[in-house]
Amino acid sequence: MTEIRSAAPSPTRQELRERAPVVVAARRTAIGTRGRSLAEYTVEALAAPVFRALLADVPTTVIADVVLGNCLGPGGNPARVAGLAAGLGVTVPGMTIDRQCGSGLAAVIEAATAIRAGDERPRIAGGVESPSTAPVRSINGVPYSRAPFAPHGFPDPDMVRAAEDLAANRSISRERQDAYAARSHRLAQAAVARGAFDDELVALAPSTSTPPADAHAVATPPSSNLRDDGIGSISPSILARFPALFPGGTLTAGTSSRISDGAAAVLLAPAGTAPGLALLTHATVGCDPALPGLGAAPAIQQALERAGLTTDDIAAFEIVEAFASQTLAVLDELGLSDDDPRVCADGGALALGHPWGASGAVSVVRLFSRLVRSGAPAGTLGIAAASVGGGLGVAAVFEVVR
């Protein structure tokens, strides 16, 4: 029996940087609550304008592939469909991957891995979700809300139930969850006021290549789809009025992210390209499917260990805030405080919304804005991470290069 062992000692940070693919452009749509501001846009109608914006930011005549995360959508390889709709040409292939809430970040990692392996042509990677236009799924004619996250014999809670169970397991109080959700909205409102999202957002407008889902519908004007529609003036006192989602529980609609539409993507280039975010290390892990919200913590820890880093070295964390209890449990595991200014400094999914397949890519776009667009010096570090239904975690460590 062959024993597989590590072939070499862990590389130094300098060695990681020398071969790290670089995010050189990062864009997203606004995020719209299901049935609201982006309700008429299909997945390709959301993703294609983002692709075009990336290529306008960093023109290139070569795109090797498009890798796109998507969970609920229509099938038919949305990455390929969106690439064609964006005008990338018939020779550019596409691959759609499903790692649930980590899909968008997993797509970025997949594209970076291909570049690191030797094919140094640029790639577009990200994620998209349109619950508003997703088809109804059924088995023997009976509709169902989701596929199983785990097989028979394993725990398979839906994410709302799992978040409630995690709060109970880790003794995370209702008051603490309310305070964290209010923080997300407060920071997002401040970010909007100072224009922190302006340079990353892409306006959506109808065109012949990206029609609305209903050809007879009146499309949302571009001026009204440049704002994440879930951000509000939400305080802990307001959140305290929300009823618990389960009898005797602590989770509420206010401490849960909304089902959302949206797309986000980045343009990845070979090592040595600058300015941008170099993807140093990444990790994908499994955890107890009964408590999937914890997955981001061991993924972050592994990604940091592979880079020879600790949380003290990180200037910016973007952790997908699917639920307040989930994010707080991850922060506890990492030894970070509830109000650590490095964590989701402009608000997170609790305020902006959570388009499942796109959210991991939204985290990378947010890191790009917080670090590259803001002028952070070379060497500044950031982490994007997500916990995933079924008991997974995905994380990646990025470094600013100039």
Could you tell me if 87 and 209 are in contact, meaning their C-beta atoms sit under 8 angstroms apart? yes
Residue 131, amino acid: P
pLDDT tens, 81-92? Answer: 999 999 999 999
Beta strands in 146-299 (DSSP E): 260-269, 276-286
Amino acid 208: pLDDT: 39
C-alpha to C-alpha distances, 341 to 187, 221, 387, nearest whole angstrom: 10, 35, 21
Q: What is the mean pLDDT of residues 44-63?
A: 96
Mean pLDDT over the full length of the chain: 93
Amino acid 200: pLDDT: 98
Amino acid 207: pLDDT: 39
Residue 66, amino acid: V
Amino acid 224: pLDDT: 62
pLDDT tens, 98-109? Answer: 999 999 999 999
Residues whose CB is less than 8 angstroms from the CB of residue 295 and which lie 6 or more positions away in sequence, other chains included = 285, 286, 287, 386, 387, 388, 391, 392, 393, 394
Buried/exposed 3-20: b ≥16 CB within 10 Å, e otherwise = eeeeeeeebebeebbeeb
Amino acid 13: pLDDT: 87
DSSP state of 131: T
Q: Give percent above pLDDT 90 in the chain.
A: 85
* Whole-number Å distance between alpha carbons of 211 and 215: 7
pLDDT at 143 over 70: yes
* Whole-number Å distance between alpha carbons of 163 and 329: 10
C-alpha to C-alpha distances, 320 to 26, 115, 120, 210, 247, nearest whole angstrom: 17, 26, 29, 28, 26
Count of other CB atoms within 10 angstroms of residue 272: 14
- Could you confirm whether 344 is annotated as catalytic? no
Buried/exposed 162-196: b ≥16 CB within 10 Å, e otherwise = bbbbbbebbebebebbbbbbbbbbbbbbebbeeeb
Angle made by CA atoms 129, 228, 207, in degrees to the nearest 5: 60
Residue 25, amino acid: A
- As given in the structure block, the two tokens for residue 275 are 């300015």
Amino acid 217: pLDDT: 41
Active-site residue, from 71, 101, 287, 344: 101
Buried/exposed 350-378: b ≥16 CB within 10 Å, e otherwise = bbbbbbbbbbbbbbbbbbbbbbbeeebee
- As given in the structure block, the two tokens for residue 298 are 């061991």
Could you tell me if 146 and 88 are in contact, meaning their C-beta atoms sit under 8 angstroms apart? no
pLDDT at 94 over 70: yes
pLDDT at 42 over 60: yes
Amino acid 214: pLDDT: 44
- Could you confirm whether 216 is annotated as catalytic? no
Active-site residue, from 71, 287, 344, 354: 354
Q: What is the mean pLDDT of residues 136-162?
A: 90
Both ends of the chain: CA-CA distance in Å? 47
Q: Give the global pTM.
A: 0.94
Residue 346: name the closest of 224, 176, 199, 175 by CA: 199
Amino acid 3: pLDDT: 77
Amino acid 220: pLDDT: 55
Count of other CB atoms within 10 angstroms of residue 337: 10
Amino acid 211: pLDDT: 43
pLDDT tens, 265-285? Answer: 999 999 999 999 999 999 999
Q: What is the mean pLDDT of residues 137-166?
A: 91
pLDDT at 253 over 50: yes
Confidence of residue 144 (pLDDT cuts 50, 70, 90): confident
* Whole-number Å distance between alpha carbons of 254 and 325: 11
pLDDT at 230 over 60: yes
Q: For the chain, how big is the Rg over CA atoms in Å?
A: 20
Q: Report all structural domains of the chain as residue ranges with CATH numbers, in order of start.
A: 13-136+257-401 (3.40.47.10)
Amino acid 6: pLDDT: 62
Amino acid 221: pLDDT: 61
What phi and psi, each to the nearest 5 degrees, are found at residue 397?
-105, 130
pLDDT tens, 174-226? Answer: 999 999 999 999 999 999 999 999 999 999 976 333 444 443 344 556 666 88
pLDDT at 306 over 50: yes
